[in-house]
Amino acid sequence: MKEKIRVGFEGDFQFREIEIAAGDPAPWDPSQKFSVVGTRQPRLDGKAKATGEAKYSIDVRLPGMLYGRILRCMLPAATVKSLDLSAARKMPGVRAAIALAEPGEKLRFAGQEVAAVAAETPDQAEDALAAIRVAYEARPFVVSLDDARKSGAPLVFEGKTETKTSGGDVESGGKNLARHGNVLGPRSTVKGDVDAGFQKAAGVVEGTYDTQVQTHSALETHGLVARWEGTELTVWASTQGIFDMRDQLAETLQIPVSKVRVITEYMGGGFGAKFGPRVEGLAAARLAKEAGAPVKLFLDRKEEQLASGNRPSARQTVKAGATRDGKLTALQLTVYGNGGTNGGTGTSGPVKNVYACENLKVDEYDVFTNAGPGTAMRAPGHPQGAFALEATMDELAKAIGMDPLEFRLKNDPSAVRREQFRVGAEKIGWKDRDARRKTSDPEILRGVGVGAAVWYNTGGTGPRATVTIHKDGSAEVEHGVQDLGTGSRTMVAMVAAEELGVPLDEVSVSIGDSRLPFAPDSGGSTTTPSSAPAIRRAAWEAKQALARAVAKEWKVPAESVKVEKGRVSAAGNPPHEATWAAACKLLPSEGVAATAERADNHEDAWKRFTTGCQFAEVEVDTATGKVRVNRVVAVHDCGVPINPLTTESQIQGGVIQGVSYALFEDRILDRPTGRMVNPNVEAYKIAGALDVPEIDVTLVSVWDGINNTNSVGIGEPATVPTAAAIANAVSHALGVRIRQIPITPEVVLAAVRERDSKGGRS
Amino acid sequence: MARRREKLPPDRSKALVAMTVNGERVEAPFEPHKTMLEVLREDLALTGTKHGCELGECGTCAVLLDGKPVLSCLVLGLECEGRSVETVEGMAGPEGLHPLQKAFADLGAAQCGYCTPGFLLTAKALLEENPRPTLPEIRQALAGNLCRCTGYVKIFEAVELAAAWLRGEAAEPRKESLYGYDFDESGLLPSHPGPVGAVLAAAREAAVDEGGDKPRPYRAKAR
Ligand code: FES
Ligand code: FES
């Protein structure tokens, strides 16, 4: 059914006809007077989290529970010669031992899993690892990107490329891609003709940009508790996708999906690496089966940093050209990404999707090294790509003598982001940024930089929800989604409360269990846009069920009953009218319920990418090389945010991860031994309370009509442009281009020397 | 929750240690090499105290030992003999939540919440020593606690709010709503500025180059 709806964003609304799926309510309108949506709602589980009552998977304790531990090979490349678990099996308290690698198997990074044991106490399990007899043959290895690309470098994969894949891994791309040595690819994208584009340009710049490996470093490590009852398996997991976990466990263990139950009541953070059971989860399930007792297996911090995934590093060369009046004519990216033993390291998202350019060429190569596998991490490829692209935009603006922001505005095809740029510029004080470079301390320079964010996903079909309206007027929602801390539990309740017109505290929510109606995995920032429309539709249908039940009591046609906020009525002779509570009293004792599926996205919606931009102001100490981020202005599109409190929190968290990525975080591998030298959260420095800038968040609500709540996700776009903006700000402060992150004091001091050798201080 | 344990038959691999946990006297038998964190989580079933590293790096396991914040992963259970330990489970009193707990919940300072117990106890020690901390003092006090989710901003706000409450000041979290535009007769021009218009309408002239866009019709005054 076609409906005319209002779409757009503040300053640019328009009417649009869109096709609404039968049985789905039309998208909320910008004139809608919400009572719950759009208000700052504390998390429903805030109290449980602040009292220690919240039970995380790592807190689960079951009677007779055993503790699992994993033996890892600390050689960067080795072949298993022999593996003997018999002595370990006889160790005190040991109840099960399994091999995770077979003799003859090639191990490819320091920290790879070899065997696992389960014992009555954690100490006994640890002791038993020492009793496992395993012999390795060391093989030559390579851990640096440069070394790995050399001809004659030790090969990470001698035969076929066997990248490991867990649920969240980014695909390595076409199976038929050629691999030369350790270099796979390229995956290429060509649009127009870059050479012709460069010919036309008045200015051309080219630069090479290096980014490091970042680890997810969620505070709760990976792991799960597995319990078998006969042929049924229940796991309590720290996972971003309980249904994906369920399906992968069933498939790998070859048991029916119906026999697997996954529960995630609370989880201690997930940033892309917590998908599927992974090696440790499968090990726990197998150990539990062998021992005939539940097994808890969580990684320790060192294992977490070594082997649970990471954001691949990248070496990107970007070349770009523009006309004198500031139109991009050609954009070219060549990237060598390094995800250790995993591929899928491309960074081309921003280059392809932020600025408009007719002539584009992208070549993406995966370089393999003997290092822990990369996996999806908060906007895979994008913070890297944005860093290189936005630096290039600044350089090119300079080459053609244009203000870098004006240059961006001229090339940005997104009306929403152009406006976001203007809002951010106003808030950061862009126009006098040059005047503010000098501070009262001659050693300290100030700089302001900018970067753009792009993201795509708008959620999709699959999710289901059940909404029950009880006889006393309260309501219940069942939806199996996991809450990573983002506030999904609260979002579920808010959407139902809004649609039903019931106060938020009279809505109860059951989530985090694969026995509940199907819900999306939390990846790609798709949780809310996938879940919320299903919840709303279920609540809408439950209201119709209420109307039917009330109509029967009133003896009027069901279509004549209207359910509005807090009030149920039927026109006619005589007219009927009841409060919500009185109407619900007419229900049978079981109340009414509806289960609904999320409708498809509206094809004819006001389509866009999810956009955002961030501005950073930094102070750089040219004597010590230290960078301090004073302020980040983050302007983002999150569709129509359901809970501005938690949306803001996502953005603040994304910004601080970006600050941390720009200045501190760096996984360091020792070249002679091939081992990670900082598998911890100290030498692997993560931004702390002292490193937090002032963060100014502006949400630009965008009503696109793509689904019935206009919701999109924000987790990922929030961290895309931060490092880019900071690097541009440092470059602005110093007057020298920063081409590598993290921007450590060493990097800054080298830039200061470069500046000074080029002719004194500016 | 089995905080008070019956004396178990003597087990020579275990030490029997008497201490006060959350105001209650506890005698617990445990292996003498165990850290306080392990004793709390494994032997006393107090899983509110979390671990993020067990290396003394993340602050997740912070508890108060005789009122001072310590990393329980670096303290042996044995060292707590005769001393008083406070964990997150002991923060709420008979009158309900501790103001810090309420402020953390109300302001969304607990995102995944895994770091929250450690922050709460560290902040409690701060506020007991310094009822009127400045933002730099709050940052300094919390510098040993990592949070991977929130960006810390809401944690600082919650500590400030709780400090105000503890001083007996009236303070409330923000509670505005984002939407609900009224439209003019064209149906397309909002009657009051949202966050975009609020910034731009006032400073339209000063705004950077239009980049070809037509000036947008923002209303200057909030409703
Ligand atoms: S667990 Fe004690 S400091 Fe991390
Ligand atoms: S809220 Fe997740 S680590 Fe702090």
Which has the closest alpha carbon to A723: A638, A662, A646? A662
A300 to B50: CB separation less than 8 angstroms, yes or no: no
The values of phi and psi at residue A334, to 5°, are: -125, 125
| B108 within some domain | yes
| pLDDT (mean) for B146-168 | 96
Q: Does B29 touch chain A (CB under 8 A)?
A: no
| Per-residue pLDDT reduced to its tens digit, A298-309 | 999 999 999 999
How far is it, in rounded angstroms, from Cα A736 to Cα A437? 13
Confirm whether B208 is domain-assigned.
yes
pLDDT one-digit tens code per residue, A31-87 = 999 999 999 999 999 999 999 999 999 999 999 999 999 999 999 999 999 999 999
**pLDDT over 90 percentage in chain B:** 70
| pLDDT at position A176 | 72
The torsion angles phi and psi of A593, rounded to 5 degrees, stand at -145, 155
Pick from B201, B182, B205: which is nearest to B192 by CA?
Answer: B182
Structural domain boundaries of chain A?
A: 1-33+418-458+602-762, 68-139, 460-597
Query: Are residues B82 and B107 located together in one domain of the fold?
Result: no
pLDDT, mean of residues A701-720: 96
Q: Do B151 and A426 touch (CB under 8 A)?
A: no
pLDDT-derived band at A483, boundaries 50, 70, 90 = very high
Mutate to test the interface with B, among A422, A432, A615, A655 (most CBs of B within 10 A): A422
Q: Is B184 exposed, middle or buried (0-12, 13-18, 19+ CB in 10 A)?
A: exposed
Q: What class is the A68-139 domain?
A: alpha beta
Q: Report if residue B51 sits inside a domain.
A: yes
Distance CA A615, CA A428 (A): 7
Pairwise CA distance, residues A460 & A188, whole Å? 28
DSSP 3-state of B69: strand
Cα A282 to chain centroid, rounded: 24
Cβ distance of A681 and B115 shorter than 8 Å: no
A653 vs B111, B179, B200: nearest CB? B111
Question: CATH number of the domain at A460-597, out of 3.30.365.10, 1.10.150.300, 3.40.710.10, 3.30.160.70?
Answer: 3.30.365.10
For residue B63, the ligand closest to its alpha carbon is: 1
Percent with pLDDT over 90 in chain A: 94
For residue B71, the cross-strand partners are B62
- State whether B191 and B214 are in the same domain: yes
The closest-lying atom of ligand 1 relative to the alpha carbon of residue B51 is 1
On whether residue B32 sits in a domain, the answer given is yes
Relative to the CA of B149, which ligand 2 atom is closest? Answer: 2
Mutate to test the pocket of ligand 2, among B115, B145, B157 (most ligand atoms within 8 A of CB): B115
- CB–CB of B53 and A30 under 8 A? no
Residue B149 sits in the same domain as residue B210: no
Question: In this structure, are B71 and B33 located in the same domain?
Answer: yes
Instruction: Decide which of B90, B120, B147 is a domain's last residue.
Output: B90
Q: Which residues line ligand 2 (CB under 6 A)?
A: A 219, 269, 485; B 110-115, 147-150
> CA separation (Å) from A722 to A409, A445, A756, B34?
19, 20, 28, 42
CA-based torsion, A242, A243, A248, A251: positive or negative? positive
Q: Is residue B144 domain-resident?
A: yes
Q: How much is the pTM? A: 0.96
Which of A163-172, A346-355, A658-667, B8-17 comes out lowest in average pLDDT? A163-172
Task: Read off the pLDDT of residues A346-369 as tens digits, 9 standing for 90 and up.
Answer: 999 999 999 999 999 999 999 999
Q: Give yes or no: residues B154 and B188 share one domain.
A: no
Ligand 1 center to B38 CA (angstroms): 11
Q: What is the pLDDT of residues A219-239, one digit of tens each?
A: 999 999 999 999 999 999 999
Using the 3D structure, point to which of B46, B63, B90 is the last residue of a domain. Answer: B90
Picking from A244-248, A744-748, B143-147, B217-221, which range would have the lowest pLDDT averaged per residue?
B217-221
The pLDDT score that the predictor gives to residue B210 is: 47
Quote the pLDDT of residue A249.
98
pLDDT bracket for residue B200 (50, 70, 90):
confident
Per-residue confidence at B176, pLDDT binned at 50, 70, 90? low
Query: What local confidence, expressed as pLDDT, does residue A573 receive?
Result: 84
How far apart are the C-alpha atoms of B150 and B143, rounded to whole Å? 14
Look at residue B2 in the predicted model and tell me its pLDDT: 43
Mean model confidence pLDDT for chain B: 87
Does residue B145 sit in the same domain as residue B207?
Answer: no
| Residue A614 clears pLDDT 90, i.e. is over it | yes
Q: Indicate whether B10 belongs to any domain.
A: no
- ipTM value greater than 0.90: yes
Q: Using 50, 70 and 90 to split pLDDT, how confident is the model at A167?
A: low
As a whole number of angstroms, the distance between CA A449 and CA A735 comes to: 12
Domain check: are B149 and B203 in the same one? no
Judge if B165 and B181 occupy the same domain.
Answer: no
Total Cβ atoms within 10 A of residue B27: 13
Question: For the CA atoms of A417, A611, B112, A113, what is the dihedral angle to 10 degrees?
Answer: -140
**A1-33+418-458+602-762 fold:** Aldehyde Oxidoreductase; domain 4 (3.30.365)
Q: Which bound ligand lies closest to the C-alpha atom of A269?
A: 2
The domain of B67 spans 15-90
Give the whole-angstrom CA distance, residue B61 versus residue A620: 34
Residue A607 confidence class, pLDDT cut points 50, 70, 90? confident
pLDDT in tens, A577-590: 999 999 999 999 99
Chain A environment of B213 (Cβ under 8 Å): 415, 418-419
- Pocket probe for ligand 2: among B149, B157, B159, the residue whose CB has the most ligand atoms within 8 Å is B149
Contacts of B145 in chain A (CB under 8 A): 688-689
CA-nearest residue to A690 within chain B is: B139
Domain count, chain B: 3
Which residues of chain A make contact with B33, given a CB cutoff of 8 A?
123
Q: What is the pLDDT of residue B194?
A: 75
The alpha carbon of A567 and the centre of ligand 2 are apart by a number of angstroms equal to 41
Does the residue B9 lie in any domain? no
Query: Which of B66, B90, B114 is the last residue in one of the domains?
Result: B90
Residue B175 to residue B180: CA distance in whole angstroms: 15
Residue A594: is its pLDDT beyond 80?
yes
Min Cα distance A49 → chain B (Å) is 5
DSSP string, A214-267: EE---SS-SEEEEEEETTEEEEEE--S-HHHHHHHHHHHHT--GGGEEEE-SB-
Domains A1-33+418-458+602-762 and A460-597 share a fold: yes
| pLDDT tier at B223, thresholds 50, 70, 90 | very low
A301 contact residues in B (CB cutoff 8 A) = 52-55, 57-58
